[in-house]
Amino acid sequence: MPGATEVAERAPASRLVKAGIAVPVGPASLAQLTSKNSVIDKLQHVQSALRESQDRLNSIIQSAMDAILTIDEDQRIVMFNDAAEKMFGCTAADAMGQSMERFVPARYHATHREQISQFGAAGATKRTMAGRQAMYARRTSGEEFPIEASISQVETSGEKLFTVIVRDITERRRAEEVREWLAAVVESSDDAIISKTLSGTITAWNSGAEKLFGYPSAEVLGKSIEMLLPPDRAGEETEILARIGRGERVQHFETVRVRKDGRRIDVSATISPIQDSNGIIMGASKIARDISERKRAECALRSLSDCNESLMRATDESTLLQRICDLVVNVGGYRMAWVGYAVHDEKKTVRAAAFAGHEVGYLDTLHMTWADEERGRGPTGTTIRSGKARVCYDIATDPSFAPWREEALRRGYRSSMVLPLKSGSEVLGAISIYATEVRAFDAAEQHLLEELSNNLSYGITALRARQDRRQAEEKLARKADELGRSNADLEQFAYVASHDLQEPLRMVAAYTQLLAERYRGRLDDNADKFIGYASEGALRMQVLIQDLLAFSRTGRRETSNVSVDCNSVLREVLQTMASSIQESRAVITHQELPVIWADRTQIAQVFQNLIGNAIKFRREVPPVISIRAEKADQHWMFSVSDNGIGISAEHAGNIFVVFHRLHTRSEYPGNGIGLAICKKIIERGGGKIWVESQAGSGSIFRFTVPLQSPDAPEGATK
Ligand code: ADP
């Protein structure tokens, strides 16, 4: 390809002149000016200056980025620069003398010609700009490309020439298109898209931002982004912009902003740095989305799943179910909710136990079952069988919803979620929830509703357990009542029997005694023996009957509680027992004992029975007995310990039963009634009695007496 100077040299001088690039300085005109030397010098100077300027101009033209070509009135090319060669894919030599229309797509030919002729008609003199025209040019290869062209007219020696400057704007147009496209995307976005400088001045504001914040762009451009901040979040933007300035990106930042109307909105924003072509951060772009609705739903659902209060307050199951259904509809904003229980009948029916919301007879149309058949393979039946939650994203298309689709859609249900209600591993039923939108249950919502159904399951289980316990308690109370009555009957019988038997027994005893006295030695030996047995038996019977009577009386007698000093009671008991203590050489010690609120005689009897046993059931060594009392939370605990024969663990519980003895009378005398009386006395006083012992190693009998009996006056205990 020829260089700039080459073209200039090759092109005839007249052409350059015509093109307005060279000034006509021929030898004839020079000769006229050589009359004076000084004039010649000046002219030579001018001439060289002109040449210089012409060279400069040539090199500018040739090195220009734009294609520059000159055409005559018939559109023939008279000059074609380097850039033109490149742009049109044609050498200057080929282009010279050709019509410029060669480089213009046919559809522009007419316009083109018109423009050139208008130029001529306008009689414009020099270099008149024809304005910038956006149009298309054509390369030699036939490829069209967008150009921007300007045209100017040069009139030289009566001939009209036009200089056309053409710029290939393919790249620019492409960039513009991308930019326009992006601008359209930004403008049509529902999200607010804002740009701001690093100091927080708003520089761009799309229609999404207008909608979200309520300000038209004219009211915010050039203002500070701080205008959107609620007072409690002042400084938040400064912090974000500082991070942006460090090149960080702030993603899914959830915060609160204030709209033009003063309403607070929850937004989620992603803020990214904007860099210039040198990578220097100039500002930030922010994409913000209104999440108020999501937040509200989240909040509502959280309060739903947090329905412990309802669970706590519910006293019966149907109220609980109703309350939860109401909450789901009223707080959760769902269209309808119902609870179905799995009935274990032949048809495996699902019985509706509660519902709330827009039901309008829907449940009657269900004929729901949890059996593995068509009406049992919908969400509810499947959930009950599998124990797993089911989501139906679109009732209109979900095949499992077919049997109920029409009725459901008629009531405005579009998607549903069914959750199992379980007690342990048993599925009791399910709660079904319907929403008006397709795909209303997103992952977070499903999670919260699962929590809700778990809580409800727990509530139902707890209520049922509470009811079972109440029933068991009632049954127990009934049994205790019956037992008490039969005990009372028995006691009554024992009392009456022992009381009434006394008289005939006394007679038997008296007459056998008489028989023995009068006829001993008069009959044969056997008769004497038999009479002896009879009177012995009658005496023993008398003792037994008296003991039994004493036992019965213990239960019947009204207790008269008073303040009792156990030290003095013990002293009296020990005095009564002095002879047996002496005889057995028993050593009895005791600590300081408390004053208690009790029946004095009965407490004395307890001490006497326990100490008596401790002496009676001694080993070969003299008995060592100690009596103490210690204060516990609500009672005094007394203990009577001995070093006697002890009791094996298996018998420890039985010895308090009336007439229960571990030894024969010949080993240890007694009727087995002493401990039964102790038990009765202690338990009537609200305490307990038990023994800690091992065979052969002594026993500790312990009993408790309440610190203060319910009807005791203040200060009765110390
Ligand atoms: P009894 O003393 O008339 O046999 P109790 O009711 O007082 O009747 O006692 C029941 C049984 O408990 C006694 O027969 C005896 O076997 C056992 N027992 C009671 N006290 C003691 C004791 N301190 N050591 C060993 N065994 C005892």
Query: H/E/C letters for each residue in 247-258?
Result: CCCEEEEEEEEE
Nearest to 580 by CA among 539, 540, 622, 533: 622
Q: Alpha-carbon Rg of the chain, whole angstroms? A: 59
- Please work out whether the CB of residue 675 comes within 6 Å of at least one atom of ligand 1: yes
Probe residue for ligand 1, chosen from 608, 609, 617 as the CB with the greatest number of ligand atoms within 8 Å? 617
Are 632 and 708 within 8 A, CB to CB? no
Which atom of ligand 1 is found nearest the CA of 671? Answer: 3
153 with 21, same domain?
Answer: yes
Give the distance (Å) from ligand 1 centre to CA of residue 239. Answer: 87
* Euclidean distance between CA atoms 114 and 50, whole angstroms: 36
Last residue of a domain, one of 424, 457, 490: 457
The CB-side HSE value for 568 (13 A sphere, CA atoms) comes to: 7
Q: Is 639 in the pocket of ligand 1 (CB under 6 A)?
A: no
Residues of the chain with pLDDT > 90, as a percent, come to: 42
Taking the C-alpha atoms of residue 551 and residue 572, their distance in angstroms, rounded to an integer, is: 22
Any residues with CB less than 8 A from the CB of 285 and at least 6 apart, and which? 193, 194, 195, 271, 272, 274
Q: For residue 379, is it within any domain?
A: yes
In this prediction, residues 19-37 reach a mean pLDDT of 47
Query: What's CA 212's distance to the chain center, in Å?
Result: 28
Q: How far apart are the first and last CA of the chain?
A: 128
Asked whether 662 lines ligand 1 (CB < 6 A), one says yes
CA–centroid distance, 616 to ligand 1, in Å, is 8
**DSSP codes of every residue in 87-144:** HHT--HHHHTTSBGGGGS-GGGHHHHHHHHHHHHHHT--S------EEEEEE-TTS-E
Convert the pLDDT of each residue in 178-211 to its tens digit. Answer: 888 888 888 888 889 999 999 999 999 999 999 9
pLDDT mean over 620-639? 93
Distance 208 CA to ligand 1 centre (A): 96
Query: How many CB atoms lie under 10 A from the CB of residue 686?
Result: 14
Nearest CA to ligand 1 atom 23: 614
Residues 251 and 358 placed together within one structural domain of the fold:
no
Q: Which residues lie closer than 8 Å to 321 by C-beta, 6 or more apart?
A: 339, 353, 354, 456, 460
Q: 140 pLDDT band (50/70/90 cuts)?
A: very high
The answer to whether residues 611 and 674 belong to one domain is: yes
Ligand 1, atom 19, lies closest to the CA of 613
Contact 358, 412 (CB under 8 A): yes
Whether residue 316 is found in the same domain as residue 448: yes
The DSSP H or E segment spanning 598 is strand 595-599
DSSP for 257-316 reads: EE-TTS-EEEEEEEEEEEE-TTS-EEEEEEEEEE-HHHHHHHHHHHHHHTTHHHHHH--S
The CATH number for 674's domain is 3.30.565.10
Question: Quick one: CA dihedral 69, 73, 75, 77, positive or negative?
Answer: negative
* Cβ atoms 257, 265 nearer than 8 A: yes
> For the chain, what percent of residues have pLDDT higher than 70?
87
Considering 29-33, 620-624, 704-708, the range whose residues carry the highest mean pLDDT is 620-624
Total domains present in the chain: 4
Half-sphere exposure of 194 (CA within 13 A, CB side): 28
What's the CA-to-centroid distance between 655 and ligand 1, angstroms? 7
On the question of pLDDT at 1 being above 70, the answer is no
Those residues whose C-beta lies under 8 Å from the C-beta of residue 88, and which sit 6 or more positions away, are: 67, 95, 103, 137, 138, 139, 140
Residue 579 has pLDDT above 70, yes or no: yes
The answer, yes or no, to whether any atom of ligand 1 lies below 6 A from the CB of 717, is no
SS3 36: coil
Mean pLDDT, the chain, as a whole number? 84
Residue 440: pLDDT band by 50, 70, 90 thresholds?
A: confident
User: Which of 547, 655, 671 is the best mutation target for the ligand 1 pocket, counting ligand atoms within 8 Å of the beta carbon and taking the most?
Assistant: 655
- Cβ of residue 430 lying under 6 Å from some atom of ligand 1: no
The closest of 146, 205, 204 to 176, measured between CA atoms, is 146
Residues 74 and 126 in one domain: yes
What is the distance in A from the centroid of ligand 1 to the CA of 583?
19
Classify residue 656 by its DSSP letter. G
In a domain, 480, yes or no: no
Alpha helices (H) in 557-645, listed in sequence order: 566-576, 578-584, 600-616
> Among the atoms of ligand 1, which is closest to the Cα of residue 670?
3
Has residue 715 got a pLDDT over 60? no
DSSP bridge pairs for 355: 338
Cβ–ligand 1 distance for 644 under 6 Å, the answer yes
What residues pair up with 202 in beta bridges, in sequence order?
196
Does the C-beta of 652 come closer than 6 Å to ligand 1? no
Residues 699 and 578 in one domain: yes
Q: Is the CB of 614 under 6 A from ligand 1?
A: yes
pTM for the predicted model, two decimal places = 0.42
The pLDDT score that the predictor gives to residue 433 is 95
Q: How confident is the model at residue 19 (pLDDT cuts 50, 70, 90)?
A: very low
Residue 705's pLDDT is 94
Per-residue pLDDT at 4 exceeds 60: no
pLDDT in tens, 487-506: 777 777 777 777 788 888 88
What's the pLDDT score for residue 529? 86
**Ligand 1 site, residue 674, Cβ cutoff 6 A:** yes
Token pair for 278:
């040198």
How confident is residue 587, by pLDDT bands cut at 50, 70 and 90? very high
d(CA 51, CA 70): 20
The pLDDT value recorded for residue 156 is 65
Dist. CA 397–CA 414, nearest whole Å: 10
Q: Are 157 and 179 in contact (CB under 8 A)?
A: no
**Which residue has better confidence, 544 or 32?**
544
- Determine the 3-state secondary structure of 146 from DSSP: strand
In a domain, 175, yes or no: no
Nearest CA to ligand 1 atom 14: 661
Q: Where a domain ends, among 275, 290, 305?
A: 290
Which residues are registered as beta bridge partners of 267? 255, 290
Q: What mean pLDDT comes out for the span 135-160?
A: 82
Domain presence at residue 111: yes
Residue nearest to atom 7 of ligand 1 (CA): 674
Residue 267 and residue 353 in one domain? no
Q: Is 365 left (phi over 0), alpha (psi -120 to 50) or beta?
A: alpha
Q: Structure tokens of 11?
A: 């092109």
The answer on pLDDT for 429 being more than 90 is yes
Residue 600 lies in a domain: yes
pLDDT, tens digit (0-9, with 9 covering 90-100), for 73-128:
888 999 999 999 999 999 999 999 999 888 989 888 887 777 777 765 554 443 44
Residues 286 and 301 in one domain: no
Contact partners, residue 358, CB within 8 Å, separation at least 6: 335, 336, 411, 412
What is the model's pLDDT at position 555? 67
More confident residue, 361 or 123: 361
pLDDT digits (tens, 9 = 90+) for 650-683: 888 889 988 888 888 788 888 888 999 999 999 9
Q: Which of 429, 457, 485 is the last residue of a domain?
A: 457
* DSSP 8-state symbol, 369: B
Cα of 661 vs centre of ligand 1, distance in Å, is: 7
pLDDT recorded at residue 25: 44
Domain containing 278 — which CATH number?
A: 3.30.450.20
Cα separations (Å) of 386 from 344, 371, 381, 426, 632?
A: 16, 11, 9, 10, 55
CA of 686 to the centre of ligand 1 (A): 23
**pLDDT at position 717:** 43
pLDDT tier, 711 (very low <50, low <70, confident <90, very high otherwise): low
| 9, HSE (Cβ side, Cα atoms, 13 Å) | 5
Question: In terms of DSSP H, where are the helices of 418-524?
Answer: 443-519
Name the residue of 608, 613, 641, 680 to mutate for ligand 1: max ligand atoms within 8 A of Cβ. Answer: 613
CATH number for the domain harbouring residue 409: 3.30.450.40
Q: Evaluate whether residue 450 is within a structural domain.
A: yes
Tell whether ligand 1 has an atom less than 6 A from the beta carbon of residue 615.
no
Cα–Cα separations (whole angstroms), residue 267 to 217, 253, 438, 445, 643: 19, 8, 24, 19, 84
Q: Output 712 or 266, whichever has higher pLDDT.
A: 266
Selection from 73-82, 242-251, 339-348 with the highest mean pLDDT = 339-348
Whole-angstrom distance, CA of residue 633 vs CA of residue 551: 31
Indicate whether 374 and 269 sit together in one domain: no
Residues 272 and 302 in one domain: no
* Alpha carbon distance 645, 629 (integer Å): 23
Tell me the pLDDT band of 716, cut-offs 50, 70 and 90. very low
| 35-57: average pLDDT | 78
Q: Do 253 and 202 share a structural domain?
A: yes
Q: From its phi and psi, is residue 152 left (phi > 0), alpha (psi between -120 and 50) or beta?
A: beta
Domain assignment present for 39:
yes
Quick check: 426 pLDDT over 90?
A: yes
Residue nearest to atom 21 of ligand 1 (CA): 613
Q: Are 420 and 274 in contact (CB under 8 A)?
A: no
Model confidence at 2: pLDDT above 60: no
Structural tokens at position 557 = 């007698």
Domain containing 570: what range? 558-706
Residues sharing a CB contact under 8 Å with residue 410, sequence separation 6 or more, in sequence order: none
Question: Residue 65: inside a domain, yes or no?
Answer: yes
- Nearest ligand 1 atom, CA 701: 23
Residues 311 and 423 in one domain: yes
